[in-house]
Amino acid sequence: MRKLFFYFFVATSLFVDAQIKDTLPNFNDEYFLVRDGDSLMIKLNEVSVLPKHKFKSRIDVNYYYWFKKKVFKAYPYAVLASKRIDSLNARLGRIESKSKKRKYVKRVQKYLEEELTDQIKKMTKTEGRLLIKLIHRQTGKTVFQNIKELRSGWKAFWYNTTANIFSLSLKDEYHPETENEDYLVEDVLQRAFIDETLESQVPKLNIDSYQILESRKGEVNVETYKEMFAKLRKKRKRKKKKKKK
């Protein structure tokens, strides 16, 4: 990334130097000419440089890209949820009647269910867990807290109880500074924002992303997922043996 930025800077400078011989720059543009010093100052867009990844093996690279796909699938739904909740809260602030507020919440909930349910049903357990954490990142509140505020504590309790059956918790929070999985999510997101392969939406949580990523110096730890797949492979072998018997 550093080399790419350097080459871009040099190439741009040479191009502008060649053009200056023919025409003077427009001083309303984002550059200016220091004529006495015979030098050109150019204002470039800020380029964020993240630490280069440090993988232990080629297998770890594969697991990282597997994980990246999971984040790419879950993140857009978290962004959508954040937008819908913001819109909902803004609208509710203008409605005085409690009964009308309830009707409006139900209408939005039905819309979200129709819009998202079919897609979310296709998510794996890992994708579902990431979505829960990303909703906390984008909205500043856990899924449990959002349901409790928009519906009721009773509804939130039962939704969370159902989620627990699938080894998920709607109370999960996003802590990239301490949790390895959340750190990996933040790593994937920040690199995707730089590449413009994902829509960047400012999170409601106060996260110092670059400090978090710098602190790990590009380290990638995917041992949890390697262990997870090792267990799955063992289960499949056991099932095959039972079928043979």
Task: Tell me how far apart the alpha carbons of residues 59 and 102 are, in angstroms, rounded to a whole number.
Answer: 51
Residue identified by tokens 């018997």 is: 245
Alpha helix positions (H), the chain: 2-20, 58-92, 98-121, 125-139, 143-150, 153-165, 180-195, 209-216, 223-244
Nearest-angstrom CA–CA distance, 115 and 147:
17
Q: Which one-letter amino acid corresponds to residue 132?
A: I
> pLDDT in tens for each of the 245 residues of the chain?
333 333 333 333 333 343 333 344 444 554 444 445 545 444 545 555 789 999 999 999 999 999 999 999 999 989 988 888 888 778 878 888 888 877 887 777 776 666 666 667 788 889 989 998 999 999 999 888 877 776 655 455 555 565 555 567 888 999 999 999 999 999 999 999 999 999 999 999 999 999 999 999 999 999 999 998 888 888 888 887 777 76
Is the pTM higher than 0.85? The answer reads no
Distance CA 183, CA 67 (A): 12
